[in-house]
Amino acid sequence: MRPAASRYNHLRVIAQDPGVVDRRGTILTAPVALPPEHLGSGPWGYRVQVVDFDTSTDTLYPAFAYEHDANGAVLDPFAETAARDLVGDRRFHAQNVYALVMSTLARFERALGRRASWGFGGHQLKVVPHAFADANAFYSRSDEALLFGYFQSQDGHTVHTCLSHDVIVHETAHALLDGMRARFIDPSSPDQAAFHEGFADVIALLSVFSLPGVVEEILARKGSEKGARENLIPVDDVDPEHLKASALLGLAEQMGKELKEARGEALRSSVLLPVSPDHAAKPEFQVPHRRGELLVAAVMNAFVRSWSDRMRDLRAVSDGYLDLQRVAEEGRDAADYLLTMSIRALDYTPPVHLEFCDYLSAAITADLEVRPDESRYRFRKHLRTGFRDFGIDSARGTVVPTREGQALDPKTTAVQPPEDGAWLPCQTLALVYDRTHSDPLTRDVDEVFRFIWENRNDLELTPDAFSQVLSVRPSLRVGPDGFALRETVAEFYQVLRLRPSELAERLGFALPGLTEDDVIPLYGGGTLIFDEYGRLKFYIHNSLDNATRQRRRLEHLIARGALPERGPRTRDFSRIHRLRGFDTGQPREEW
């Protein structure tokens, strides 16, 4: 008889980076639970292939073979190795990247309730742990790979980016976001350019935060610096400002500790960013990586507020003190919940021209669907406040309900009329369903296109533009109460290329510095959320003919020199990351 298949593989990883040690001076490591699979040499699994090729020395290192037990679970060859010996072992480096990329993929799939795709169409992402001798790491869609560099630190030891938890999760988040919203790397609004970086940092921060042991260690260390009693935390230290200064800043300082000289301290400056609605308009926040900090700051401020709220219900274990372990557990659970919410929000974003307000309204609406009662963490409330503190208002977002009787209270939900007229009151939508079939509508791009075309007037399509359904994805989400929600998410986009005079005639504005030889591409598109009966319940639409948004986008692109288009365009993330270095005016590259 075949033995029962193992439910998980467990492999050991470095929890943060080799520069982060516990109170006894040992590098923090942790086992991660991974989807079960029979690993090929490399490791080489069903979604990730580690290839140890160094382009700087033109060397291909031999792949390491894994053994499995009788239940099919992989045997971790590094389970008992002393932590300091892991740092110099390139076979462990390969295991570390495999395990962290796979656990990030599995985390996305758990949040989404379906398989998550990479952005390049293939099934197996190549991961190269020692790709080049350079202080950089990036996702490359054209290479179908994550590439991690290595470099000499100032004290002469070799720093491997493939050992840094947050760099690996950050790059994997780029690859997964690219798989869900391929057009988010197109030139568009300042927010869209910044979103990839800000989102990848949010995922990295929350992922590290939700690891067992990390928050305990940081809180305990901060406590002992202040001479606090062991395993206890003063009640006064769990208000949002204290938690931000201790846990969040402590974590941001540790993340990528070894890479500080190369990477800078992007996470630290996001956490320390003073609250102000005026940042978004300042010149320094027009640069993508700085603007991404606004997103990180808004989300993490919401996180500490929710965590602090939860502390109010905790009973003091002795006069004026809380149990540190419980405080850390609450923080970890909250981080895990917010991580799910941050990933699910992507399904409710428009396929093109994302602005931060769209992401906020997507996060709130997607959460409301699967979890009507939010009394535990109140993230919908805290996110709204966190974003509003930085001048981002959910009322400007693009999510609109399309189902009869779906009137939601605008005070408590994201669903409000956006500023510039894309609001579609549900009662005016007389959608035709009887020419499409509900079953193919959950999986067939042509069936969805038929639905959109049949309803093009109500959905405010631009009929003379090129239109294409990009994806159709059924998902099954489970709420904390076990309640299951079936949805199908479909996205389409539209393109129209116009001469400046045609643009002026169509949208009523002229752009500076263009000649009649120039061509201006206009993009639009929508995300459709169907319920389990194949009825449209949300429509998230950026109309190609929305003059206000198109003008804002085009003027920004002209000011940045990205329009009119001249010469070949690149879609390579190495360029985005190199540009981050350029933008700061410093001769270094960043993640």
Quote the distance between the C-alpha of residue 25 and its chain's center: 32
Least separation in angstroms between residue 100's CB and Zn ion is 15
Least separation in angstroms between residue 577's CB and Zn ion is 6
Binding mask 139-178 for Zn ion (x = CB under 5 A): ----------------------------------------
- Dig out the tokens for 404 from the structure: 């009869």
Q: Of 45 and 256, which CB lies nearer to Zn ion in the complex structure?
A: 256
Total chain residues near Zn ion (CB under 5 A): 3
Q: Of 171 and 358, which CB lies nearer to Zn ion in the complex structure?
A: 171
Within 96-115, the residues that bind Zn ion by CB under 5 A are none
Least separation in angstroms between residue 591's CB and Zn ion is 5
391 by Cβ neighbours in 10 Å (0-12 / 13-18 / 19+) ranks as middle
- Dig out the tokens for 96 from the structure: 């570390």
Q: Of 259 and 514, which CB lies nearer to Zn ion in the complex structure?
A: 259
DSSP string for residues in 119-175 = TTS-S-EEEEEEEEESS-EEEETTTTEEEEEEEE-TTSPEEEGGG-HHHHHHHHHHH
Least separation in angstroms between residue 296's CB and Zn ion is 12
Within 271-310, the residues that bind Zn ion by CB under 5 A are none
Q: Which helix (H) or strand (E) holds 95?
A: helix 90-112
- Residue 404, CA distances (Å) to 91, 206, 363, 427, 537 in order: 58, 37, 22, 6, 9
Within 183-212, the residues that bind Zn ion by CB under 5 A are 197, 200
Q: What are phi and psi of 570, to 5 degrees?
A: -105, 150
Q: Of 95 and 140, which CB lies nearer to Zn ion in the complex structure?
A: 140
Q: Of 141 and 332, which CB lies nearer to Zn ion in the complex structure?
A: 141
Q: Of 166 and 358, which CB lies nearer to Zn ion in the complex structure?
A: 166
- Dig out the tokens for 10 from the structure: 């467990």
The rounded distance, in Å, linking the Cα atoms of 69 and 75 is 7
Least separation in angstroms between residue 352's CB and Zn ion is 20
The rounded distance, in Å, linking the Cα atoms of 367 and 389 is 21
Closest CA to 174 of 228, 137, 122, 226: 137
Q: Of 193 and 362, which CB lies nearer to Zn ion in the complex structure?
A: 193
Name the one range near Zn ion by CB under 5 A: 346-354, 423-431, 477-485, 583-591: 583-591
Least separation in angstroms between residue 590's CB and Zn ion is 8
Q: Of 168 and 507, which CB lies nearer to Zn ion in the complex structure?
A: 168
Q: Of 92 and 573, which CB lies nearer to Zn ion in the complex structure?
A: 573
Q: What are phi and psi of 212, to 5 degrees?
A: -60, 135
Least separation in angstroms between residue 287's CB and Zn ion is 14
Which residue is it, tokens 């201006």? 520
Least separation in angstroms between residue 280's CB and Zn ion is 20
Degrees, nearest 5: CA angle 448-465-459: 45
DSSP string for residues in 9-49 = EEEEEESS-TT-B-TTSPBPEEEEEE-----BTTTB-SSEE
Q: Of 162 and 490, which CB lies nearer to Zn ion in the complex structure?
A: 162
HSE value, Cβ hemisphere, 13 Å, CA-based, for 58: 0
> C-alpha dihedral over 77, 80, 85, 87, to 10 degrees?
70
- Residue 384, CA distances (Å) to 222, 299, 364, 415 in order: 30, 9, 8, 12
Least separation in angstroms between residue 130's CB and Zn ion is 19
Q: Of 197 and 487, which CB lies nearer to Zn ion in the complex structure?
A: 197
Least separation in angstroms between residue 170's CB and Zn ion is 6
Within 315-374, the residues that bind Zn ion by CB under 5 A are none
Least separation in angstroms between residue 419's CB and Zn ion is 30
Question: Where do contacts with Zn ion occur on this chain (CB under 5 A)?
Answer: 197, 200, 591
